[in-house]
Amino acid sequence: MKILVELSVNGERFEIATNPHATLLEVLRNQLGLTGAKEACGTGECGSCTVLADGRPILACLALAADYQDCEITTIEGLQAGSTLTPVQESFLEKGAVQCGFCTPGMVLSATALLKKNPAPTLDQIRKALEGNLCRCTGYNKILEAVRAAGEKMSQEASGSSGQ
Amino acid sequence: MQLPRFDLKRPSSFHEAVRLLVEYGNAAKISAGGTDLLPRMKYRIAAPATVISLKRIPVSEPFQDSEGNLHVHALVRLSDAASSNLVRTNAPALADAALAVGSEQIRNMGTLGGNVCLEPRCHYYNQSHAYQFMDPCFKRGGNLCYLVPKGNRCWALACSDTVPALIGLRAAAVVQSGDREYTIPVEELFTGDPVRPLCLGETDLITDIVVPAARPRTAVVFRKLSPRGGIDFATVNCAVMLKLSEDREACEDAIIAIGAVSGKPMRAGQAEKNLLGRKIAPDVIHEAAGRTASEIRPSMRCDCSISYLRKCIESLTQAALETAYQRASSGDGVKPD
Amino acid sequence: MSELDYVGKPVLRKDGPEKVTGRALYTVDMRLPGTLVGRILRSPHTHARIVNIDASRAERAPGVKAVVTHKDSLGVKHGFVETRRYPADQNCLAEDKVRFVGEEIAAVAAVDEYAAEEALELIHVEYEPLRAVFDPEEAMERDAPEIHPSHPKVREPFRNIAGKTESSWGDVEKGFDDSYLVLENRFDSHLRTHGYLEPQATLASFEPAGKLNVWTSSQGPFIKRSKLAKTLGLPMSAVRIHKAYVGGAFGGKIDLFGHEYCASLLSMKAGRPVKIVATREEVFTAYRHGQPLIVHVKTGVKKDGTLVAQRFRVINNCGAYRGSGVVVIFLAWGFAMLPYRIPNLEYEGYAVYTNNPVRAPQRGHGAPQMRFAVESQLDMIAEQLGIDPIEIRLKNARQPGEELPNGDNVHNCGLADCIRKAAEHTEFKQKYGKSRQTPESAGRYRRGIGIGVSSYFGGSLIYPNSSSVVVKMNDDGTAILLTGAMDIGQGAETILTQIVAEEIKVPVEEIQVIAADTESTPIDIGSWISGNAYVSGNAARVAGAEVRAKLIEIAADEMEARQEDIVLENKTAYVKGSPDRRIPYSELVAASVRKRRGDSIIGNGHWRTMRDEPHHPSLATTKGRWSENYAFDAQVAEVEVDTETGKARLLRAVTAHDCGFPINPLLVEGQVDGQVSMALGHAFLEEVLMKDGRTLNPNWLEYKMPSIHNMAVSEHLDVVTESYEVGRPYRTKEVGEGYVSAILAAIANAVYDAVGVRLFSTPFSPEKILQALGKLK
């Protein structure tokens, strides 16, 4: 029997008839058409399905959709305002932190959550925040650089705007 | 990967959850954060008709009672446990252990209670069995073990990171059982049988963890060894508690708890006893680590040998004891790293 | 050389914005109306006769729209290699025998996952289990169970030989006799997997008119089209492979796979689109991994370290079907003989059938295993002779212009420079040997430094053998590039665009790429024999050059100037010396249409490596030319070993490499970093654990692919041996898979330098290191 699930995704409310056993990832990908979150393992090991729940990275593949009705879900599709890339997205691009791109949405979201909490993280803090996101292409060097650069960019923007 | 079909219940209190457990019995499984249960369900090792999700139960913040005991709600996220100032100050070993679990995402979903009740793991068990290892092993209700083919028992490993820390802290679990509530030391929660790892009744739920007030000249330290330093379950983990005498030289009380190497976390009782009353010095620590490694009997596993595990136990215990001694003797034994 | 505007620059990836915003659509994201879910029934047996398959209950099950077994197939076999010597040996769906756990038996298409899963359980297969063998040396023995008959051309009395490669020159025995020192060792490597993030996935849609549309996660659409058409009995023109983004491949998505065939056949039977996505566990248990090799190497040297003779015997555990098992024993020869001069050489390599899953190429395809063996032994030799590791390598390194024994030429080989630069940059000579001289009391952590060298070919003659590219101008002066190249993350589309941009002087952002579609783009060699930058790159250059010539011609006309005086720059043309008067390309295109009878300016380019060579060299004898350019590299590893826990880690990797002309330094660095990471996983962390043909760790929790905690500092030193000249061919060499090898060897040598014990098998796990140090009871 289907159940009615109310989700708040990227600032929009959705009422979705779905299975009680539907994961958040299935609902996002199959019912809302938000395919940015990927399933690479399905069992919580790789972080490709990362989305933010109230700003915190979670694994959509291990989240029951029905359990995440009372929070704000942010997917990679909901990060930008308009067509401007966020500082994290921009830095990933500029630093060469993207290759095949399959881990990228999860990486970008994990990094975004970290920098929101801590705009000037140490290398160890970046590693800790991204330890659940596997990447096979880059060796992580450029991802680390990108997160650092994005943090700097965000700090500059913040201080720039507060100075105005 | 799809979950099997099930009916979902979402109680809003532990009382209601226990009532549901009574109603559905064996056919129901509890999901706190879901990170342990759901992968097993996807592998079809668990296929409950009903899942009772505890996500709607309100979670209270950790607090200290008038006697200084620290109360941590069972459903607190591991990341919140790790970052809570109260936990970091009063039980740094618990904060460190919580931070050592899985990954950021896992810690944002997984709960302390869930980690305490983590299902024991085995390479043969933790996968689906559509065309590999199809005959059910002990843990899947059958009567064979793939790891020890001639064996008559299950050799799955209890891999929780928080449990050894809680044992080191002499923490207790508050359990809701029907309308009744009882308290049990965390150490006594485990049967040692990986097939039925918990001593809890089928309708019992852990609602809180209580860590006794920190004692002077005492330090509890958690250490974990794993191949990658993130994501992994421990190859070996270890928590030690060391209480020093008033002159801060001799050992007054000690706990050495070793996890991930057998069906339940193990205490190195003889090594602990041997420490009592002795003046702590490098050779004493070295001896205690050596004793721990020879008295703990790691289970067989398929990715490394027992002699390697013993070596790991030794070096990890040594490191933990060294840090514990440092902290206990420096006067602020309860401060985090 | 004219000024370079677009190549040699760290241009940002063209697909970057799509990828960082989550808009890039991969095969797993593709859906068509009415798509059915396909699932595959796999063998639970390592080796068994199939007595009967009864799928009738599954066919009648609710929600099931089609079931296929061998009976529904044409029985056409397939193989990675399909030659007269090595005909295809694998059924798409098992017929009368299964030879590994996970082999495809049947497939179903149903309305959802649940119906499909339940249907699989309703297919009844009766098996008669057979004796199985998993170890290649055991499989070669006379009394081993026969998986396939030994290859008829192999004379030795071994069982289960899938193929053999033999090659020799000079007189090896005499060489050993003349040597001052002869060492003989065995090196073993272990089973690893690619670890691509996107699982294997295919969406197939058969149209009533007879066209099969396929989206599949691959390394090149043309080989997929060819193999699907052949096995399904369709004309090639009836199969269209569409483009989708690819979430990593690393050699694991080249050949035809069961899910691609089954999705297509099911769609043909059901008349609806069918999508099959393998679970990660299927990828680990039933799909193809890399190839562990047993390498025996005997080497003779003069007193001064000059190589005199080398004999190799290589045994490859190639799994239940040939896969690329007979390719890797050919390549192992190549990777053994490339970097150093070896006057006398004897090589034999065996690919041996076992009841393990089939093997695939994996980044480096035999090179890591071979370089680990050769470079480890070379350090042992150097130590015995009292020569340092740098000098012995410099002494034997191939020099520019040298001809290889197979007739290839190393051209502008920069190997010696690579060795020197890597050594200088890391202060190798000052550091080497230091750790072993310090007493044990100096502490539990030991540091070591090691070097390895490697070489890799850039493109060879394997179907489709060549690349073509079309460049066409738009009315507004921008351009469109059509290429069959498949961007699997390495940046193929970006570098081809840069090359075209350079030729026609249109900014990279203003060239639109249409790629990797078998119908709307021309044929391409594929992203799997390291030929993309060179072969497709030259095709792009030629296509661009044709457009360039047309633009210049019409510009000269319009401006009443000589063609040689026309300068192109940023979508405009001007006469040398008068940059103020420019004609925009939009006007040139309009002029061309007006004056050249409608020519809207289109350029074609095509390229094939080794223009006069008829075909790929013999896999059996190595005769014939292999490639016309070789990349070289020297890599230095600095490691730290914890002698208490046995844990070793790579602290720093320095890659000095000659990849010809680096078209995009940012992408080149990305390739190097990725390979360093893969090599450190190879060295320390990763292993597919198997017991009797079954996989014990079919997930990323237990298969220890490096996480962000396990990265090393990676530095790059370019040894640029080739310049880019507009309109002229150039040797861009390969950069995508050559650098997983020397660094592995360097790590092995660095571990020795740190702790003084030599490891003869990978991985260098904590347990193995402690064992070697005598620290385990």
Residue B281 C-alpha, separation from nearest chain A C-alpha, in angstroms: 32
Confidence of residue A159 (pLDDT cuts 50, 70, 90): confident
Please name the residue of chain C whose CA is at the shortest distance from the CA of residue B303. Answer: C689
Whether residue A41 and residue C708 make contact (CB cut-off 8 A), yes or no, is: no
Interface of chain C toward chain B, CB-CB under 8 angstroms: 42-44, 101-102, 113-114, 117, 120, 279-281, 285-286, 644-646, 685, 689, 691, 694-702, 704, 706-710, 765-767, 770-771, 775-777
Q: A139, C699: Cβ pair inside 8 Å?
A: no
Token match 């990890």: residue?
Answer: B316
In this predicted structure, what is the pLDDT of residue B331?
65
Q: Do C19 and A38 touch (CB under 8 A)?
A: no
B134 touches chain A (CB under 8 A): no
Q: Which residue has the tokens 């002494």?
A: C395
| Alpha carbon of residue C696 to chain centroid | 26
Q: Establish if B248 touches chain A: CB-CB under 8 angstroms.
A: no
Nearest CA in chain A to C698: A41
d(C-alpha C480, C-alpha C64), whole Å: 44
CATH number for the domain that contains residue A15: 3.10.20.30
User: Given a cut of 80, is residue B336 above it in pLDDT?
Assistant: no
> Closest Cα partner for C746 from C645, C667, C675, C670?
C675
**What whole-number distance in Å separates Cα of residue C66 and Cα of residue C81?**
31
Q: Is the same domain home to A99 and A135?
A: yes
- Buried/exposed A52-91: b ≥16 CB within 10 Å, e otherwise: bbeebbbbbbbbbbbbbbebebbbbbbbeeeeebbbbbbb
Q: Which pLDDT belongs to residue C441?
A: 77
E strand or H helix at B256: strand B251-259
Region A67-72: what's the mean pLDDT? 96
Phi and psi at C240, nearest 5°, equal -120, 125
- Separation in Å, CA of A99 to nearest CA in chain B: 23
What's the CATH fold of domain C16-22+462-608?
Aldehyde Oxidoreductase; domain 4 (3.30.365)
Mean pLDDT of C762-777: 96
Residue C611: pLDDT band with limits 50, 70, 90: confident
Tell me the three state secondary structure of residue C289: strand
Q: Across residues C696-718, what is the average pLDDT?
A: 97
Check whether C534 has a pLDDT greater than 70.
yes
Peptide bond into C763 cis (omega under 30): yes
Set of chain A residues whose Cβ sits within 8 Å of the Cβ of C246: 100
Whether residue A24 is contained in a domain is answered as yes
pLDDT value at residue A164: 43
Closest approach of C645 to chain B, Cα-based (Å)? 6
Say yes or no for a CB contact (<8 Å) between B302 and C691.
Answer: yes
Cα distance from A8 to chain C (closest Cα, Å)? 19
pLDDT attached to residue A162: 53
List, in sequence order, the alpha helices (H) in chain B. 14-24, 37-42, 78-83, 85-90, 92-100, 104-109, 112-116, 162-168, 269-275, 282-295, 306-329
Strand partners, A95: none
A130 and B CB contact within 8 Å: yes
CB-CB under 8 Å, B308 with C114 = no
Identify the CATH homologous superfamily for domain C31-130+196-249+253-285: Aldehyde oxidase/xanthine dehydrogenase, a/b hammerhead (3.90.1170.50)
Residue A164 lies in a domain: no
Task: State the pLDDT at residue B123.
Answer: 98
Q: What is the pLDDT of residue C438?
A: 84
Q: What is the dihedral of CA C135, C138, C140, C146, to 10 degrees?
A: -80
Residue labelled with tokens 């300016």: C601
**Burial class, A120, CB count within 10 angstroms (exposed 0-12 / middle 13-18 / buried 19+):** exposed
- Residues A141-157 have a mean pLDDT of 95
Q: Looking at A14, A47, A78, which one is the last position of a domain? A: A78
Q: Do B305 and C766 touch (CB under 8 A)?
A: no
Cα end-to-end span (Å), chain B: 40
How does residue C38 score in pLDDT terms, banded at 50, 70 and 90?
very high
CATH assignment, C293-460+616-772: 3.30.365.10
- A56 and A98 assigned to the same domain: no
Q: What is the DSSP letter of C441?
A: G
Chain A positions touching C248 (Cβ under 8 A) are: 99-100, 102, 136-137
Please give the interface size between A and B, counted as residue pairs whose CB atoms are below 8 Å apart: 91
CB contact under 8 A, B8 and A63: no
Task: List helix spans (H) across C324-438.
Answer: 325-337, 367-385, 389-396, 415-426, 428-431, 434-437
Confidence band (pLDDT; 50, 70, 90) for C2?
low
* C-alpha torsion C63→C69→C74→C79, nearest 10: 120
pLDDT over 50 at B337, yes or no: no
Chain A CB within 8 Å of residue B230 CB: yes
Is B26 at the interface with chain A, CB within 8 A? Answer: no
Chain C residues touching residue A89 (CB < 8 angstroms) = 20-21
Residue C644: the pLDDT is 93
Under a CB-based contact definition with an 8 Å cutoff, are residues A164 and B263 in contact? no
The whole-number average pLDDT for the span C705-721 is 96
Check residue C29 and report its DSSP letter: G
| C765 vs B contacts (CB less than 8 Å) | 304
Q: Which residue has the tokens 């012995």?
A: C392
Residue B1 sits at the chain A interface (C-beta within 8 Å): yes
pLDDT, tens digit, 9 for 90 and up, residues B165-218: 999 999 999 999 988 999 999 999 999 999 999 999 999 999 999 999 999 999
Give the pLDDT band (50/70/90) at residue A161. low
User: Per DSSP, what are the bridge partners of residue C109?
Assistant: C38, C66
pLDDT in tens, C557-577: 999 999 999 999 999 999 999
Query: How many angstroms away from the CA of C197 is the closest CA of chain A?
Result: 6
For C542, counting Cβ atoms within 10 Å of its Cβ (0-12 exposed, 13-18 middle, 19+ buried), the class is buried
* Measured torsion, CA atoms of residues A92, A97, A101, A102, in degrees rounded to the nearest 10: -100
d(CA C719, CA C660): 8
Q: Give, in degrees to the nearest 5, the angle at Cα C737 between C731 and C739.
A: 95
Distance from CA of B271 to the nearest CA of A (A): 34
pLDDT of the residue at C696? 98
A131: CB partners within 8 A, 6+ apart: B103, B104, B229, B230, B231, C707, C708, C709
Nearest residue in chain B measured CA to CA from A61? B1
Decide if pLDDT at A81 tops 90.
no
Residue B73 · residue B114 · CB < 8 Å: no
Q: Which CATH class is domain B218-329?
A: alpha beta
d(CA C253, CA C106): 21
Q: How far apart are CA C15 and CA B332, in angstroms?
A: 54
Q: Is residue A98 part of a domain?
A: yes
Cβ(B32)–Cβ(B108) below 8 Å: no
More confident residue, C442 or C288: C288
Interface contact B308-C766, CB threshold 8 A? yes
Domain extent, residue A66, equals 3-78
CA distance C389 to C371: 14
Q: Return the CATH number at A99.
A: 1.10.150.120
Q: Does B53 touch chain A (CB under 8 A)?
A: yes
Best mutation target, C100, C104, C644, to test chain B (most B CBs within 10 A): C644
- Per-residue confidence (pLDDT) for residue C129, from 0 to 100: 98
Domain extents in chain B: 1-58, 63-117+157-211, 218-329
Which residue of A lies nearest to C490 if distances are taken between CA atoms?
A: A99
- Do A10 and A68 reside in the same domain of the chain? yes
Domains C31-130+196-249+253-285 and C293-460+616-772 share a fold: no
Q: Do B127 and C114 touch (CB under 8 A)?
A: no
Residue of A6, A26, A64 to mutate for B, most B C-beta atoms under 10 A = A64
B227 contacts chain A (CB < 8 A): no
Contact C459, C535 (CB under 8 A): yes
Judge if A74 and A19 occupy the same domain: yes
Same domain, A65 and A94: no
Q: Rounded distance, CA C672 to CA C665, Å?
A: 10
> Which residues of B fall within a CB distance of 8 Å from A64?
8, 31, 34, 38, 51, 53, 55
> pLDDT tens, B3-39?
999 999 999 999 999 999 999 999 999 999 999 999 9
What tens digit of pLDDT does each residue of B270-279 get?
A: 999 999 999 9
Residue C163: per-residue pLDDT: 98
Q: Tell whether the model's pLDDT for residue C597 goes beyond 60.
A: yes
Q: Using CA coordinates, name the residue in chain B closest to C44.
A: B131
Confidence at residue A158, expressed as pLDDT on a 0 to 100 scale: 83
| Radius of gyration of chain A from its Cα atoms, rounded to whole angstroms | 16
C71: helix, strand or coil = helix
Segment C231-263, tens digit of pLDDT: 999 999 999 999 999 999 999 999 999 999 999
Report the pLDDT averaged over residues C747-773. Answer: 97
CB contact under 8 A, A58 and B105: yes
The CATH number of B63-117+157-211 is 3.30.465.10
Residue C442 has pLDDT above 90, yes or no: no
Mean pLDDT value of segment C313-318: 97
What is the SS3 string spanning chain A?
Answer: CCEEEEEEECCEEEEEEECCCCEHHHHHHHHCCCCCCCCCCCCCCCCCCEEEECCEEEEHHHCEHHHHCCCEEECHHHCCCCCCCCHHHHHHHHCCCCCCCCCHHHHHHHHHHHHHHCCCCCHHHHHHHHCCCCCCCCCCHHHHHHHHHHHHHHHHHHHHHHHC
- Sign of the C-alpha dihedral computed for residues C591, C597, C600 and C602 taken in this order: negative
Q: Indicate the pairing of strand B236-244 with strand C602-608.
A: unpaired
Rounded distance between C-alpha atoms, residue C526 and residue C249, angstroms = 12
As for how many domains chain A has, the answer is 2
**Do C704 and B228 make contact, defined as CB atoms within 8 angstroms?**
yes
Q: Token match 């401006």: residue?
A: C559
Percent of chain B topping pLDDT 70: 98
Q: Residue B187: what pLDDT?
A: 98
Of A23, A48, A78, the residue at which a domain comes to its end is A78
- Report the alpha-carbon distance of residue C379 to residue C744 in Å, rounded: 14
Q: Do A20 and B6 make contact, defined as CB atoms within 8 angstroms?
A: yes
Q: Do B303 and C766 touch (CB under 8 A)?
A: no
Contacts with C10 (C-beta within 8 Å, 6 or more apart), sequence order: A96, C664, C665, C666, C667
- How many Å apart are CA C669 and CA C682, to the nearest integer? 20
Per-residue pLDDT, C730: 86
Distance CA C277, CA C288 (A): 15
Q: Are the C-beta atoms of C664 and C494 separated by less than 8 Å?
A: yes
User: Which residue, among C472, C402, C377, has the nearest Cα to C752 in the 3D structure?
Assistant: C377
Is pLDDT of B333 > 60?
no
- DSSP single-letter state for residue B198: B
Residue spans per domain, chain C: 16-22+462-608, 31-130+196-249+253-285, 293-460+616-772
For chain C, percent of residues with pLDDT exceeding 90: 97
Question: Pick from A27, A61, A78: which residue ends a domain?
Answer: A78
CB contact under 8 A, C694 and B132: yes
- Mutation target to probe the B interface, by most B beta carbons within 10 A, among C121, C694, C768 is C694
- What residues in B contact A57, CB-CB < 8 Å? 104-105, 108
Contacts C114 to B, Cβ<8 Å: 2, 5
Q: What's the pLDDT tens digit per position in C200-237?
A: 999 999 999 999 999 999 999 999 999 999 999 999 99
Give the mean pLDDT of A94-99. 98
**pLDDT (tens digit, 9 = 90+) per residue, C163-189?**
999 999 999 999 999 999 999 999 999
> SS3 for C613?
coil
Mean pLDDT (chain B) is: 96
CB C695 within 8 A of CB C689: yes
Query: What letter does residue C682 receive in the DSSP assignment?
Result: I
**Chain C residues closer than 8 Å to B311 by CB:** 645-646, 770, 775-776
Between the alpha carbon of residue A116 and those of residues A92, A97, B286, the distances in Å are: 16, 19, 44
B307: chain C residues, CB-CB within 8 Å:
776-777
User: Which CATH code, of 3.40.50.1000, 2.60.40.1180, 1.10.760.10, 3.30.43.10, is assigned to B1-58?
Assistant: 3.30.43.10
Contacts of B34 in chain A (CB under 8 A): 62-64, 67
- Pick the closest to residue C27 from C703, C486, C675 (CA basis): C486
Residue type present at position C379: D
Q: How close does chain B come to C332, measured CA to CA in Å? A: 29
Span C121-133, average pLDDT = 98
